[in-house]
Amino acid sequence: MLGTFQHSSLRIELAASQQQIRESLVCPAQFRQWLAPQTFSAGLPDHLQPGTVFTGWLGPVAIRHQVEQVEPNGIRLLLSQGIDGFHQWHWGDGWVQSSLAGVSLLPLNLGQTLSLLRLRYFLTNQAR
């Protein structure tokens, strides 16, 4: 894989419950909304489970996701193709943390920051 090894961990506060954050991260119907313009493969289950494999596209760049763990307050995804590494999420009432590490040509920290801001916006507007 071409690219640079990158690692980033970010944590933000949200006006949302642990359950609302969990649903936003493990339900494809929800994460498709706040991760737009990224698109995802069809046929995903209602909730991600260990072993689920799907592809996301950021324009022409494909990123394969394999769900490694799903817990009440966390999810871990193994990434390949456009990013070779992992993405791990942890959450609780009022906060979410994202840890991302991998080799890629993409600016991972920028994408991670934008994703967290979009998640905050999505959850804030969902509560209204």
Q: How far apart are CA 94 and CA 49, in angstroms?
A: 24
pLDDT tens by residue, 33-83: 999 889 999 999 999 999 999 999 998 999 999 999 999 999 999 999 999
- Proportion of the chain above pLDDT 70, given as a percent: 98
pLDDT of residue 70: 98
pLDDT range class, residue 2, cuts 50, 70, 90: confident
pLDDT of residue 68: 98
Does the pLDDT at position 96 exceed 90?
yes
Does the pLDDT at position 115 exceed 90?
yes
- Classify residue 60 as exposed, middle or buried by CB count within 10 Å of its CB (0-12, 13-18, 19+): exposed
pLDDT of residue 80: 97
pLDDT of residue 9: 97
- Do residues 47 and 102 lie in contact, with contact meaning Cβ atoms separated by under 8 Å? no
* Backbone conformation region of residue 23, classed left if phi is above 0, alpha if psi is from -120 to 50, else beta: alpha
> If you compute the radius of gyration of the chain from its CA atoms, what whole number of angstroms results?
14
Which residues lie across from 8 on neighbouring strands?
Answer: 100
Average confidence score pLDDT of the chain: 95
What is the arithmetic mean of pLDDT over 92-101?
Answer: 97
Cα 8 to chain center, whole Å? 13
Residue 92 contacts by C-beta under 8 Å, 6 or more apart in sequence?
Answer: 18, 73
Sorted by where each starts, the structural domains of the chain and their CATH numbers stand as: 4-126 (3.30.530.20)
